[in-house]
Chain A
Amino acid sequence: MPDNLMRIEVAGENALIVYLGDALSPVVADRVRWLDQQLRERLADQLIDTVPSYASVLVIYRPDRIRMEALQEYIEEFGRATSEPMTKEEGRLVTLPVWYGTESGPDLVALAESNGLSLDEVVRRHHARQYRVYAIGFAPGFAYLGEVDEAIARPRLATPRQHVPKGSVGIADRQTAVYPAESPGGWNLIGRCPVRMFDPLAAAPMPVGVGDRIQFEPISRSEHLELGGAP
């Protein structure tokens, strides 16, 4: 990766934030994933934690084990290494079933009307393409997926809901996500997914990680219930 695409800023007395691009793109997301992996593998003992996101990685380090200047040099080195043809390690493909409809998706009608599409067309366009996990955050297991077809993009609700049911599938602008737990939220809800997105007691607490690809697959209400989804 050309160096001029990487910008490093101070994020605290023991933290640096590395910006790897300024557009939402699979290329930038690859760089984020690569840098995060390199840091976690090669500097595990020096780092407290990292936070990969859309176009940046926050690096929090142990000042008793590494100095900021040295960390910065490592980051620049890892960055340079990716200027070679990138070791293109594709994320996994994860299929998530979704019960679409007006019962499970209280905003489906409004979204279809505001965007001039039929209900079926909104649903079809939502599961017609694969998405990429760009970031995980906000809450444990909340995966930001992008990007949805422009024709079904819609801004967040003017007033967020107090209670969004667990498993709800929503759209905010060109992002889509599955709510891992009941929470407040302002995304446009179009369906519900029976897969548990976060299980604190499981060996693998999340079915998806940053860089994975997601394919939604429409299911019926009864299939949703059979798969353990909330009615």
Chain B
Amino acid sequence: MNGFRVLEPGVLSLFQDAGRLGYHALGMTAGGPMDGAAFYWANRLVGNHEGATTLEVAQGGLRLECTGDTSVAVTGAAMPLKINGQTKALWRSYRVAPGDVLELGHATVGLRTYVAAAAGFEAPVYFGSTAVVRREGLGKPLHAGQELVCGASTDTDWALPMDQIPRCEATVTLRVVEGYQVSEFSAGSRELFYRSAFQVSPRSDRMGYRLEGNAVAAPAGERFSEGIAYGAVQVPPDGQPIVLLNDRQTIGGYPKLGTVLSLDCWKLAQCAPGAKVCFEDISLEAAQAAVEEAAATREATALKRSA
């Protein structure tokens, strides 16, 4: 069978496809890749459709042994990749044969990589998605000895042109589309929010990123819990912003001053605790134009033959 055996699962490796959409009304979160760009390129490099199931490898430490011919690509954080002990570049695909061992070390900058294999990994489907959400009991992290099934190798190896490779940084600036309760925040607290540098707290995970820094005064008063969008920036009474990401709770009651532009969320998701985060505002029109442009650029990018 085309695929791999898990020799070591790494710190936290999860099946992720494009996410579980359409079930928020049941209280179910979306899940899906924390770094959507790396996920997209990993799949494209092995000829998969956009939403094929990959492995999201947090922090590294994964070791896989090939059990049947396939193609594989690794993208995302700069984790050292070795195949049979030989150092290999990320952001390109490789054909592997039975007995080959693929190994991911620990990232120096960035936090998550995506391992895509030809035709995608087979994984249990819950509510139309293979995205593993541990909190909801949907799927489980990889474990040693697990057999991974995918498709046969592709004919060609491909690489993403160097100038198209997104780089993880230890300091990130996130663009915010203001909205929700922004008009209830004082001018002073908004200004403080935009000129502060926050630090990523160790209590950050797939659900949300907690930030530490200047206390941003949040509007007081009770409000009903309401739907939380991907990237929403909520400010609890302690003034420490929380950016809610893929595994966010569907509803919550803290005031929100806006939403991080979806194109920027991956930068935060690649931040380890201690990384520095700044915010700048972007108009709705500029944000929508940026999303359209990014989609067009992606479509227009041709992969290079690498072998």
Contacts and interface: CB of A to CB of B under 8 A. Distances in A.
Contacts of B288: 13-14, 63, 68
A86 interface: no
A45 B230 CA distance: 20
Interface string B282-304: 00100110011001000000000
Given A12-B259, A63-B292, A200-B127, A53 B27 contact: no
B1 interface: no
Given A55-B224, A58-B226, A58-B229, A49 B27 contact: no
Interface string A153-168: 0000000000000000
A142 B27 contact: yes
Given A11-B259, A60-B229, A17 B180 contact: yes
Interface in A180-206: 181, 198, 200, 205-206
Given A17-B180, A136-B26, A51 B250 contact: yes
A49 B262 contact: no
A11 B24 contact: no
A63 B288 CA distance: 8
The residue among B23, B24, B259 with the most chain A CB atoms within 10 A of its own CB is B24
A48 interface: yes
Contact of B231 (A9, A12, A49, A209): A12
A228 interface: no
B21 interface: yes
Interface string B257-268: 011011000000
B126 A51 contact: no
Interface in B21-35: 21-28, 30
Interface residues of B, number: 43
A10 interface: yes
Contact of A135 (B225, B228, B230): B225
The residue among A48, A58, A205, A210 with the most chain B CB atoms within 10 A of its own CB is A58
B179 interface: yes
A48 B137 contact: no
Contacts of B22: 48-49
B228 A51 contact: yes
B232 interface: yes
A107 B102 CA distance: 53
B250 A9 contact: no
Interface in B229-243: 229-232
Interface string A109-131: 00000000000000000000000
Contacts of B224: 24, 53-56
A53 B27 CA distance: 10
B227 A51 contact: yes
Size range of the chain A interface in the assembly: 35 or more
B291 A36 contact: no
A50 B259 CA distance: 16
B135 interface: yes
Contacts of B230: 12, 15, 60
Name the prevailing secondary structure of the B interface residues. mixed
B26 A12 contact: no
A57 interface: yes
A165 to B, nearest CB: 16
B246 to A, nearest CB: 13
A135 B231 contact: no
A137 B256 CA distance: 17
B177 interface: yes
A138 B251 contact: yes
B249 interface: yes
Nearest to B288: A13
B11 interface: no
Given A51-B251, A200-B138, A137 B180 contact: no
B27 A17 contact: no
A137 B177 contact: no
Contacts of A55: 224, 226
12 contacts: A10-B259, A12-B179, A12-B231, A14-B262, A17-B179, A58-B227, A58-B229, A138-B27, A139-B249, A198-B27, A200-B137, A206-B26
Sorted nearest first, the 9 A-B pairs with minimum C-beta distance are: A58-B227, A51-B227, A137-B251, A10-B179, A12-B259, A54-B224, A13-B287, A12-B229, A137-B250
Interface of A: 9-15, 17, 24, 36, 48-58, 60, 63-64, 68, 135-142, 144, 181, 198, 200, 205-206, 209-210
Given A13-B259, A36-B25, 5 more contacts: A11-B227, A12-B259, A49-B24, A51-B226, A58-B24
